[in-house]
Amino acid sequence: MKVLLAEYAACHDPALAHEGAAMFDTVKQSFERCGYEVVLPGCGDFAAEIERLAPGCDMGLVIAPDHLLARYTRILEQHTHNLGCGFMTVALCANKVQTEKILRAHGVHVPAGAGSGKRLIKPVKGCGAQGVRVSDGPAGDGEFAQQYIEGEHLSVSLVASRVIGDACAYFTGKPPLVLAVNRQVIETGDDGAVYYRGGETPVHPAREAEIIEVAKKVILVLGGQGYCGVDVVVSDKIYVVDVNPRITTSLVGIAACMREEIAEILVDASKGGGPEQVHMTGSVRFDTAGKVSRL
């Protein structure tokens, strides 16, 4: 069977190219180990390449920055079976302000709007830590400010089964499968700029069960499918600070510890199935260039 793996950054975004390549290599190697023929787009027009190649593939997955992912996912869905989040969920999660409103309405703790003093400034539509900074100044055009929360930076990596149903009833099939809780390495520069440097996985923080339940609720509320990452800061409460409806860098570390193949998990989840749990061996430290070292 043929699978189209369309990774955007390597050819089109030098700032994210190393991180994109690390995620892509992890997924590609898994599909190849599972016997799939992997089809890759060229470095021309990304949308045109997906439109050209997807009809000849049995399935596909797009890896791209959040604010672009919905457009390319929609094209993929028009021509083949999508192994990732649906384009409407992707479009919602790309708007950080709207996502926070929905989560808050469903009882999920998110940072409050910024008051006076130290706050976090974020692009309304951004990818990872790009454009994020700590400041006591106002947000600019296309940005928003939120409460700065001191705490432990973690993420939860999950795979959600595709929504199954007919004209009369819809249900989400299996509960989201938790792959791992990951510790994030976050640095703040002298100018206040925030940088994501990778992390450690799997980790088992004191409030692990509670963190996992929050992450599962987030994915169900937003209608996530396929691989998703939920970023949290653990302080007095568990605050959800970002939702990534796509492959994240944490997968590089997870794949080095997980006995199961992420390719098989994604394919099975896209059909409403998949394992009840995964099995991890040891733990690793990983960076955004794909370097993995055993702990």
- In this predicted structure, the answer to whether residue 165 has a pLDDT above a threshold of 60 is no
Class of domain 2-87: alpha beta
Most confident of 165-169, 177-181, 269-273: 177-181
Q: How confident is the model at residue 173 (pLDDT cuts 50, 70, 90)?
A: low
* pLDDT at residue number 163: 59
Residue ranges of the domains in the chain?
2-87, 90-109+150-294
Q: Strand locations in the chain, DSSP E? A: 2-7, 37-39, 59-63, 81-82, 119-123, 133-135, 143-147, 152-160, 164-165, 170-171, 177-188, 194-201, 226-234, 238-244, 284-286, 292-294
* pLDDT at residue number 251: 98
Which stretches of 40-139 are DSSP H helices? Answer: 46-53, 66-79, 87-94, 96-105
Share of the chain above pLDDT 70, in %: 95
* pLDDT at residue number 168: 38
Q: What is the pTM of this model?
A: 0.92
What value does the mean pLDDT of the chain take?
91
pLDDT digits (tens, 9 = 90+) for 100-145: 999 999 999 999 887 767 888 888 776 666 778 888 877 788 888 8
Give the CATH H-level superfamily of domain 90-109+150-294: ATP-grasp fold, B domain (3.30.470.20)
